[in-house]
Each structure stands twice: as structure tokens, then as C-alpha cells.
Amino acid sequence: MIVDGLVFMSDGYTADLRAGNVAAINLTVTPFESDFATACDHVAVWLHRVSAPHSDWHIVKRAADIETARSAGKTGLIMGWQNMRPVEDQLHRISFFHALGVRIMQLTYNNRNFIGDGCLETDSGLSLFGRKLVREMNRVGIAIDLSHVGERTSLQALEISERPVLLTHANAYAVAPTPRNKSDDLIKAVAAKGGTIGVSIYGPMCWDRNPAHPPCLDDFLRHVDHIVDLVGVQSIAFGTDLPAVRDLKTVEEMLEFTRTRFPENVGLYEQSFGGGARERYVREIGNQRDLPLMTAALLDRGWSPADIKGLLGANLIRALQKAWID
């Protein structure tokens, strides 16, 4: 059973997810720059989609809902987002969004907000409001995601949190030194808190900086090996950072957003390999249908079925049970 720790966009299309045996996804249900009203509207759209007759989706509010979705032949939807702009500086909105079904929130995107600094900022750390927010997320049972968050802000959030904290889609800086990847110290701190590190097939985070070498599955697996050596197989998970859409043309606006807002993150990569949606990932995996190739590669490297099961979802589910007060 596969649980994808991060799908950044979906139009409701599930055929690729089903073909890849994906049982549930953490879906970014509202764009990165959404305000409160926009986020509420996007959540409403998804709740409507889930409740529609013959829906392909099942809302996930507890870890057990993932198995319920799978047994019903539906895709489990974990509603999440990658920026706290919908919350702004209003702490009471955390419990409001929890009541709506949102279960994972990333503290910052790449830049600064009311909570702290993203991974492309100067990294001044967690704000006073951010400290209150971490405690409130713990209290109501929303999992904290640090994937795009700055190092100092992340470590301070980990110090305060009493529940597991996640890296839903992030790789190892020691293997590929890009601002989006994470230091060994941070990876260790997430694991020590009971969280998981979701290794990603996103090309710029796997790439070795050789313009003649587009990233491949072996590059992804180097990150897996490094993190397992560092913190153990029980702390590894994965988040593709893929979309789940019928036509990749629908994600072009999002790609343009990241291209223009954060050129330091993807500029050199796009100069080497192009800026299309397909070029953004390791060459063997174009969508979720190709995920069995990941399982085959792990088996070829001597992984046991139990350890593969952990990486593909069981480890993340265990962390979510504790983060969600399940």
C-alpha cells in the first residue's frame, strides 16, 4: 500500500494513482499564495468532490481512513497545504481548518511568513507567533511539515513540538547541495522526534549538478541510502512532488510561478534539461503509473519487503497516527 507524502496539484484525476497502486496522497489542496478566503474555497471544492455520488475519493482524517479508502476502491485524500498564509496571524484558524479536515500544514513555503523563514530566506528562525502555532497544531492534531522551511526555523519548531514532525518531500543536502535539501542534523532531529523523511523524485533535489547527467532513479536511491544510513529504515518515507492531473499542461502556470519566483532553486536545472513538467523528475518516473519501478529498484538493492512497505507508506502512517492524536 503506497501513501504519497506530497502531490502538489490535482484536478480530481485518479487513473494514474490507481495504476501505480497509490492508496492515499497528501494533496496540496490550495495554491501556495492562497489567502484565507481562497483556501476555504479550495477546501470546499474538495469536500464537494469527495461527497459527490460515485466519487473516486475518500477523505482521510484518521490513519485508519487510509485502509478504509483502499478497501472501498477509492483514493484516500489527506488535505494539506504548503504555506500558512491562509492562517496569517490568527491562531484560532488552526482549529477551524482542522474541523474542515485539513491534516498537514507546512509552516512556510520558500520565503518568510508570520511563522518563520523558508529555505530561501535569511533564516532568522521561528517567530513568537510561530511558537504558539506549533503548540496549537500539536493540540488539535495537525501534522507539521518542514519540507520548504529554513534550517533554523525547522530546528526551533522541532524543539517545541511534542509530536512527530514531517519532511514530506525533501532529500539530503550531503548528497545534493541545493537549498531545498536538508542537513544531516535536521534529518536526525526529525527522526529523533518520531517523524519521517519523505525522499522525493523531484529532479532538482536529486541532481548531482552535472549538466550532462539528467537525474535518474539511481540518484534518488543515493538519497535513500544516505538517509537510511543516517537514521535507520524506520524513518524513511517518500513524497513524489508529482501532480495528479489528466493533462500536464494544466500545471504550466504552477511551473511558471516557481520559475519566476524562485530562480535560484530551479534556474540552473532548467538551463540544463528544460523547463517542462516531465523534465522536473527523475527520468524513469513520469507519473504515478511508474512507481512500481521504484519498488523493483529497491528489491534489486536487497531491500526486504517489510522495509519497502515502510518506505512506501507504513512509516508515514505510523508518524501520522501520533501527530494526529489518532
Q: What is the pLDDT of residue 171?
A: 99
pLDDT in tens, 223-272: 999 999 999 999 999 999 999 999 887 787 777 777 776 766 677 888 88
Q: What is the pLDDT of residue 258?
A: 72
C-beta separation of 144 from 154 below 8 A = no
Residue 118 and residue 110: Cα distance in Å, rounded? 4
Residue 75 and residue 3: Cα distance in Å, rounded? 10
pLDDT at 274 over 90: no
pLDDT at 50 over 70: yes
pLDDT at 23 over 90: yes
Share of the chain above pLDDT 70, in %: 98
pLDDT in tens, 199-231: 999 999 999 989 999 999 999 999 999 999 999
Residue 189 and residue 231: Cα distance in Å, rounded? 9
Residue 227 and residue 190: Cα distance in Å, rounded? 11
Amino acid at 54: H
Q: What is the pLDDT of residue 269?
A: 84
Summarize the confidence of residues 100-122 as an average pLDDT.
93
C-beta separation of 98 from 142 below 8 A = yes
Q: What is the pLDDT of residue 225?
A: 98
Q: What is the pLDDT of residue 265?
A: 64
Q: Which of 9-23, 274-288, 300-314 has the lowest mean pLDDT?
A: 274-288
The three grid cell numbers given for residue 313, joined into one nine-digit string: 507508506
Residue 281 and residue 241: Cα distance in Å, rounded? 9
Averaged confidence pLDDT in the chain? 95
Q: What is the pLDDT of residue 56?
A: 98
Q: Using H for helix, E for strand and C for coil, what is the string for the chain?
A: CEEEEEEEEECCCCHHHHHCCEEEEEEECCCCCCCHHHHHHHHHHHHHHHHCCCCCEEECCCCHHHHHHHHCCCEEEEEEECCCCCCCCCCCHHHHHHHHCEEEEECCCCCCCCCCCECCCCCCCCCHHHHHHHHHHHHHCCEEECCCECHHHHHHHHHHCCCCEEECCCCECCCCCCCCCECHHHHHHHHHCCCCEEECCEHHHHCCCCCCCCCCHHHHHHHHHHHHHHHCHHHEEECCCEEECCCHHHHHHHHHHHHHHCHHHHHHHHHHHCCCCHHHECCCCCCHHHCHHHHHHHHHCCCCHHHHHHHHHHHHHHHHHHHCCC
Residue 149 and residue 151: Cα distance in Å, rounded? 7
pLDDT at 77 over 90: yes
C-beta separation of 134 from 114 below 8 A = no
pLDDT in tens, 131-146: 999 999 999 999 999 9
Is the torsion defined by CA of 179, 183, 189, 193 positive or negative?
A: positive
pLDDT at 43 over 80: yes
C-beta separation of 268 from 192 below 8 A = no
Model pTM score: 0.96
pLDDT in tens, 161-186: 999 999 999 999 999 999 999 999 99
Reported confidence tier of residue 110, pLDDT bands at 50, 70, 90: confident
Q: Which of 46-60, 124-138, 242-256, 276-290 has the lowest mean pLDDT?
A: 242-256
Residue with cell 519501478: 293
pLDDT at 306 over 90: yes
Structural domains for the chain: 2-323 (3.20.20.140)
pLDDT at 123 over 90: no
